[in-house]
C-alpha cells in the first residue's frame, strides 16, 4: 500500500530543534525556533496565565466552549487587532472564528480564499515564515512573491517593495520578468516583528504600502503572530493594521496567543475577516465555521478559557500587558549586548542591524556555512537562513554566542 511514500523533507524550523535535541553537548544553545525563553534559558509561564489557571480550575466543563465565551473571545481578539473603538467592531462588520493558533488561522483563511477566489494567488514577502509556503500550497493557492528584505542593508527594500505591489517580479529558472500584480490580489503582510527578518516598515512606509495596495484594490491579509514583541505594546504593534482601516481597506487577520501569552502548546488563535456589513459578516462567518468543522471540528477548550479569562478580567489584562513589555524588553536588551560584544571583540563586520531589527528574530546575515560551523563546532543552532531567535540568548550565554559568531565570521 505505501511503497510509493518517501519521507517528507525536514521542516526548516522544527528540524533545527530536532538537531539541537540530538546533540549530547551540555553547552548547546538553541537559537532556532521562535519561542520565548527567560534569562535562564527556560520557557516562561506568564503569571497572568497562572492566575487565570487557578481561576478556571474546577469550573471548566469538558465540552466545547459555550458560544457566549467564544463570541466574547473573538470580539476581544478583534479589538486587539483593530482597536478598542474600531467602527468595524461596533458595526459588527467582522467575521471571526477561533482557530488553532496562527498556523490554523492562516490555514483556514487559505482554504476560504481558494473556495471563493479559486483563481487567486497569495503574494508572500521574500522571505517570509517558511510555513506560509506550506499552508497556501496545501490549500492549493499558488504563491507569488514580493521583494521585501535587502541583504545589503539588512533592512527593508522599500522602493522595490512598492514596485512589486504595482508590478510583481517573477523568477522563472534563469529568467526573471516584471508582471503586474492583477488588481484584487491577496497580499500577506506581517504587521509587526516580521518573521524571519525582524525588519518592519516605518509608520510612514506602512501608509504608502496601504495607499498602493488600495489603489490596486488588493486584499491585505495580516499574520500577526508576534503582537507586542516589536514595541512591547499591543496597540503600537497593531498600528499598521489601524492605518489600513483608516484607509478604508477590508482586511483579514490571523492572530496567535502562542508567543505573547506563552501558550505555545495550547494552540489558541483567531481568524477575522472585515466585511462590508453585518449581513456579509454573518455569511462569511458561517463559511469559516463550516471549513473548520470539516478540518478539525472545534478547537481544544482549555487554552481558550485561559485566554478569555485574561482578556475579560481588567486586572489580569493589565498584568499580561506588563509581562509582554518585560519579554520584549529582555529581547531588546539582549540585542544591545550581543552587538556590543561583537564590536568589542573587534569584528570587522557591521552589526548595527542586530539592534535595528525588532521582535524575536535577528536576520543575522550569517551564511549557511557559518550556520553549519556554529552547530558543528560551537553547538549553537539556528535556521539555515541565518535567523537567530534572540529569545534564546541569555546573560549567561551571550559571551559564548558572540565569540562563536566572531570566530566563524573572521575570514
Binding site for ligand LMR (CB under 6 A): 13, 33-34, 129, 131, 195, 225
Closest approach, Cβ 17 to ligand LMR, in A, equals 9
Residue 129 or 381 having the CB closest to ligand LMR:
129
First to last CA, the chain: 52
Mapped onto helix, strand or coil, the DSSP state of residue 177 is strand
Maximum CA extent, the chain: 63
Dist CA 206 CA 398 (whole Å)? 34
Active site residue 223: yes
Query: In this structure, are residues 378 and 406 in contact, taking their beta carbons and an 8 Å threshold?
Result: no
Catalytic one of 145, 154, 239, 259: 259
Which residue sits closest to ligand LMR, CB atoms considered? Answer: 34
Active site residue 320: no
Residue 135 or 181 having the CB closest to ligand LMR:
135
Mapped onto helix, strand or coil, the DSSP state of residue 275 is coil
Closest approach, Cβ 128 to ligand LMR, in A, equals 10
Closest approach, Cβ 394 to ligand LMR, in A, equals 18
Mapped onto helix, strand or coil, the DSSP state of residue 376 is helix
As given in the structure block, the three cell numbers for residue 173 are 529558472
3-state helix, strand, coil split of the chain in percent (to 5) is: 45, 15, 35
Catalytic one of 223, 237, 341, 351: 223
Active site residue 129: yes
Closest approach, Cβ 386 to ligand LMR, in A, equals 14
Dist CA 37 CA 83 (whole Å)? 29
Residue 272 or 389 having the CB closest to ligand LMR:
389
Of 133, 129, 130, give the one whose Cα is nearest residue 143: 133
As given in the structure block, the three cell numbers for residue 9 are 523533507
Closest approach, Cβ 125 to ligand LMR, in A, equals 14
Dist CA 297 CA 183 (whole Å)? 35
Catalytic residues: 129, 223, 259
Amino acid at each position: 500500500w505505501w511503497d510509493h511514500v518517501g519521507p517528507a523533507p525536514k521542516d526548516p524550523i522544527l528540524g533545527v530543534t530536532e538537531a539541537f535535541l540530538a546533540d549530547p553537548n551540555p553547552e548547546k544553545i538553541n537559537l532556532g525556533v521562535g519561542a520565548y525563553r527567560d534569562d535562564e534559558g527556560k520557557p516562561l509561564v506568564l503569571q497572568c496565565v497562572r492566575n487565570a489557571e487557578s481561576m478556571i480550575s474546577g469550573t471548566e466543563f469538558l465540552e466545547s466552549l459555550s458560544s457566549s465565551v467564544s463570541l466574547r473571545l473573538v470580539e476581544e481578539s478583534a479589538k486587539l487587532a483593530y482597536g478598542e473603538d474600531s467602527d468595524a467592531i461596533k458595526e459588527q462588520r467582522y467575521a471571526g472564528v477561533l482557530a488553532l493558533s496562527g498556523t490554523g488561522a492562516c490555514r483556514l483563511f487559505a482554504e476560504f480564499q481558494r473556495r471563493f477566489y479559486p483563481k487567486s494567488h497569495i503574494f508572500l514577502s521574500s522571505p517570509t515564515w517558511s510555513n506560509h509556503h506550506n499552508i497556501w500550497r496545501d490549500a492549493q493557492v499558488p504563491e507569488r512573491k514580493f521583494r521585501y528584505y535587502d541583504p545589503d542593508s539588512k533592512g527593508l527594500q522599500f522602493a522595490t517593495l512598492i514596485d512589486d505591489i504595482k508590478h510583481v517580479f517573477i523568477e522563472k529558472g534563469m529568467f526573471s520578468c516584471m508582471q503586474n500584480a492583477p488588481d484584487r490580489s491577496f497580499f500577506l503582510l506581517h504587521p509587526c516583528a516580521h518573521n524571519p527578518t525582524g525588519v518592519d516598515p516605518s509608520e510612514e512606509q506602512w501608509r504608502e504600502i496601504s495607499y498602493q495596495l488600495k489603489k490596486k484594490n488588493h486584499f491585505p491579509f495580516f499574520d500577526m503572530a508576534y503582537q507586542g514583541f516589536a514595541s512591547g505594546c499591543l496597540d503600537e504593534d497593531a498600528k499598521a493594521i489601524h492605518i489600513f482601516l483608516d484607509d478604508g481597506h477590508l482586511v483579514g487577520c490571523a492572530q496567535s496567543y502562542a508567543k505573547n501569552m506563552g501558550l505555545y502548546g495550547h494552540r489558541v488563535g483567531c481568524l477575522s475577516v472585515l466585511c462590508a456589513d453585518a449581513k456579509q459578516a454573518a455569511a462569511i462567518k458561517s463559511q469559516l465555521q463550516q471549513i473548520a468543522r470539516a478540518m478539525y471540528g472545534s478547537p481544544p477548550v482549555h487554552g481558550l478559557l485561559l485566554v478569555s479569562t485574561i482578556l475579560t478580567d481588567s486586572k489580569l489584562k493589565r498584568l499580561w500587558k506588563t509581562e509582554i513589555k518585560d519579554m520584549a524588553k529582555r529581547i531588546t536588551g539582549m540585542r544591545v549586548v550581543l552587538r556590543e560584544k561583537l564590536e568589542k571583540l573587534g569584528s570587522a563586520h557591521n552589526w548595527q542591524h542586530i539592534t535595528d531589527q525588532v521582535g524575536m528574530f535577528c536576520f543575522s546575515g550569517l551564511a549557511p556555512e557559518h550556520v553549519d560551523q556554529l552547530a558543528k563546532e560551537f553547538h549553537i543552532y539556528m535556521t539555515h537562513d541565518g535567523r537567530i531567535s534572540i529569545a534564546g540568548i541569555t546573560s549567561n550565554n551571550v559571551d559564548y554566542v558572540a565569540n562563536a559568531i566572531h570566530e566563524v565570521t573572521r575570514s
